[in-house]
């Protein structure tokens, strides 16, 4: 009886495990849509690892279930007396080692592109030295400071917006991430982009959004009791709309308070 139950439980793990992943998209328990240039790369790498892992997962779990079923039968003889096999050990050391190295090396290019200084855009309107805006995280809100007409941050004509970060679509956007009090983290699920904001540091971050729309900006590093409500939004708009937005922001900034 226990033999059957144990077998069923163990064989259910790979079956239901794979089924859950296959079924996840249907329930929308899967990646949010990928709307940055490197998001498809990250998804591809995730899936690449997932398929390799799934193969190992299925093989080992099925083997485990099968061995438990096969060798727990009532028998009145002794088990196989073996202390191992050098050849097998070599095989199952070498093959995973190669597979793991393949995994490791396929990751590098994408990571370098996203995070390395050398991966940052140099040709577009925004660069590491000349960002589109400064993003300030503090307990518990996001503020975005665009350079004003002079194009220099930190001067008196800077424009500031809260909650909503508006960026143009299809353009490499570089911003400087800063924190005023504790560690926060910039996370936009649709862009697959996460970067901690460290107090005392200015961290350049880049991305290129590929689709217009509004996306939630999430704080992904515990920043205190209000961590859960530290929401923001990234609104991706066309180049014209971006110019209009900047004009609107400027008008609002220098408004005389008449409504």
Q: Pick between residue 244 and residue 252 the one whose CB is nearest to another protein.
A: 252
**Min separation Cβ 255 and another protein, Å:** 6
Phi first, then psi: give them for residue 90, nearest 5 degrees.
-65, -40
**Min separation Cβ 236 and another protein, Å:** 14
Residue 194, both tokens: 């996460």
Q: Are 131 and 176 in contact (CB under 8 A)?
A: yes
How many angstroms separate the CA atoms of 197 and 67, rounded? 50
**Min separation Cβ 243 and another protein, Å:** 21
Sequence length of the chain is 259
Residues 6+ apart with CB under 8 A from 6: 68, 69, 72
How many angstroms separate the CA atoms of 112 and 124, rounded? 19
**Min separation Cβ 187 and another protein, Å:** 7
Q: For the range 119-125, what are the long-range contacts, defined as Cβ-Cβ under 8 Å and sequence gap of 24 or more?
A: 119/206, 120/174, 120/204, 120/206, 121/172, 121/174, 121/206, 121/208, 124/171, 124/172, 125/171
Q: Pick between residue 52 and residue 171 the one whose CB is nearest to another protein.
A: 52
Q: Pick between residue 118 and residue 240 the one whose CB is nearest to another protein.
A: 118
Q: Pick between residue 49 and residue 244 the one whose CB is nearest to another protein.
A: 49
**Min separation Cβ 171 and another protein, Å:** 19
Question: Which of these, 158, 7, 163, lies nearest to 71 by C-alpha position?
Answer: 7
**Min separation Cβ 101 and another protein, Å:** 8
**Min separation Cβ 142 and another protein, Å:** 8
Q: Pick between residue 117 and residue 123 the one whose CB is nearest to another protein.
A: 117
Q: Are strands 173-179 and 133-138 parallel, antiparallel or unpaired?
A: parallel
């Amino acid at each position: 009886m226990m033999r059957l139950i144990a077998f069923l439980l163990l064989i259910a793990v790979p079956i239901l495990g794979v089924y859950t992943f296959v079924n996840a998209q249907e329930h929308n328990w899967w990646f949010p849509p990928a709307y940055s240039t490197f998001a498809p790369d990250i998804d591809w790498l995730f899936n690449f690892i997932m398929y390799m892992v799934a193969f190992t997962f299925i093989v080992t779990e099925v083997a485990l279930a099968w061995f438990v079923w096969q060798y727990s039968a009532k028998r009145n003889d002794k088990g196989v007396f073996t202390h191992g096999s050098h050849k097998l050990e070599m095989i199952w050391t070498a093959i995973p080692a190669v597979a793991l190295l393949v995994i490791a090396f396929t990751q590098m290019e994408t990571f370098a592109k996203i995070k390395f200084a050398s991966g940052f855009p140099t040709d577009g309107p925004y660069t590491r030295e000349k960002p589109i805006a400064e993003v300030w995280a503090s307990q518990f809100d996001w503020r975005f400071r665009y350079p004003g007409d002079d194009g220099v941050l930190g001067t008196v004509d800077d424009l500031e917006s809260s909650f909503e970060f508006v960026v143009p679509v299809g353009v490499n956007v570089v911003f400087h991430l800063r924190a005023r009090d504790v560690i926060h983290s910039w996370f936009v699920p649709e862009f697959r982009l996460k970067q901690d904001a460290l107090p005392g540091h200015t961290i350049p971050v880049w991305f290129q959004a590929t689709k217009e729309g509004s996306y939630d900006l999430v704080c992904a590093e515990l920043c205190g009791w209000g961590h859960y409500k530290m929401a923001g939004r990234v609104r991706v708009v066309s180049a014209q709309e971006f110019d209009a937005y900047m004009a609107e922001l400027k008008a609002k900034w220098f408004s005389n308070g008449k409504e």
